[in-house]
């Protein structure tokens, strides 16, 4: 999209330059005339041949080719809003390279602030009054360094963010940082959350499962908090917290369908086992819909057959809940 904006700007500039050259040439010809004009009245009202809408395409292409040989159009010659819009499509690496050519534009605080907030959606430092001389470019470098540190050692990574004043040592602030950040390694994140159950509790409360179908809500949950590869105490803790949060977000559904945290807990395990059964290439005899309904209702007798059947259809059509 950035290249498209670039082409539009260049074409507009080329057309304007070509139009100005044509009208300047006509003014020169009029100035060289001596004496009264020896033209017919009809010729005086003749439409110029070089208007912008009907400009010669081949000539425009030749002019454009000559401009391309000279190099790119200088962004500093464009309106600041347009230059900033063009550079906003660059990532941090390309923006650093652009700052070597356009130093003022490449170091614009608005661009680096956008990069920080689009990559790390929540930081405690965003909500504080920033001191004079604060640099979002420097903040981006510190956030990137802290994320790399976290992916090697979670405790050291969080300590790095706190030492730089980026994060406040509070479970809710750390949970928001994790929830709105996509650069953290999920394996290291699982280790950290297994150690910091207080942060895990706050992270679960950030999810809103209102009016979501149970398998879709479980997918959304495991998208932020990855499920462990093996069954154990940590997986049980995750499903227990999810069950209570899902019921808290859907009180009407709890009354209509007869759901409870214990029933949701059982259904979650049934969905995980069904996902493995239907998606694993090692399982030859796939579980049928009738078998799933029968097995699930043995453990959750208050749940209707239609509701359990819809659960099966969702996994069959969409896929694994923890993929």
- Which backbone phi and psi does 120 adopt, to 5 degrees? -120, 95
How far, in whole angstroms, is CA 120 from its chain's centroid? 10
CB of 203 closer than 8 Å to CB of 194: no
* 230 tagged catalytic: yes
Residue 193: name the closest of 154, 145, 160, 222 by CA.
154
Q: How many CA atoms lie within 13 A of 237 on its CB side?
A: 16
Distance CA 250, CA 259 (A): 10
Work out the angle at residue 321's Cα, subtended by the Cα atoms of residues 316 and 323, and round it to the nearest 5 degrees. Answer: 110
Is the Cα torsion angle 19, 20, 23, 26 positive or negative in sign? negative
Residue 167: name the closest of 199, 132, 200 by CA.
199
If one counts every other C-beta atom within 10 angstroms of the C-beta of residue 89, the result is 14
Distance CA 235, CA 271 (A): 14
User: Radius of gyration (Cα) for the chain, nearest Å?
Assistant: 32
- With H, G, I as helix, E, B as strand and everything else as coil, classify residue 270: helix
What's the residue count for the chain? 323
Active-site residue identified among 142, 230, 291, 305: 230
Distance CA 206, CA 299 (A): 30
The residue to which tokens 């819009």 are assigned: 85
Catalytically active residues, by annotation = 230
């Amino acid at each position: 999209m950035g290249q498209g904006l670039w082409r539009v700007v260049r074409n507009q500039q080329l057309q304007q330059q070509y139009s100005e050259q044509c009208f300047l040439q006509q003014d020169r010809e009029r100035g060289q005339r001596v004496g009264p004009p020896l033209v017919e009245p009809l010729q005086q009202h003749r439409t110029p041949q070089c208007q912008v809408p009907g400009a010669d395409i081949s000539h425009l292409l030749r002019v454009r080719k000559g401009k391309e040989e000279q190099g790119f159009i200088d962004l500093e010659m464009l309106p600041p809003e347009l230059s900033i819009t063009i550079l906003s499509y660059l990532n941090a690496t390309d923006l650093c390279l652009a700052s070597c050519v356009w130093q003022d534009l490449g170091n614009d605080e608005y661009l680096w602030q956008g990069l920080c907030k689009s990559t790390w959606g929540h930081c405690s430092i965003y909500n504080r009054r920033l001191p004079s001389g604060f640099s979002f470019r420097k903040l981006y470098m510190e956030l990137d360094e802290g994320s790399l540190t976290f992916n090697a050692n979670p405790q050291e990574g969080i300590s790095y963010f706190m030492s730089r004043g980026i994060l406040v040592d509070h479970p809710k602030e750390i949970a928001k940082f994790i929830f709105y950040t996509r650069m953290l390694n999920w394996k290291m994140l699982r280790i950290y959350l297994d150690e910091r159950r207080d942060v895990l509790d706050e992270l679960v409360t950030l999810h809103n499962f209102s009016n979501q179908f149970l398998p879709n809500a479980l997918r959304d949950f495991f998208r932020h908090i990855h499920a462990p590869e093996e069954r154990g105490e940590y997986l049980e803790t995750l499903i227990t917290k999810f069950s209570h949060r899902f019921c808290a977000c859907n009180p009407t559904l709890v009354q209509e369908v007869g759901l409870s945290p214990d029933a949701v807990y059982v259904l979650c395990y049934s969905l995980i086992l069904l996902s493995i059964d239907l998606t694993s290439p090692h399982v030859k005899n796939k579980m049928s819909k009738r078998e799933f309904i029968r097995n699930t209702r043995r453990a959750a007798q208050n749940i209707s057959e239609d509701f359990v059947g819809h659960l099966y259809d969702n996994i069959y059509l969409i896929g694994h809940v923890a993929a």
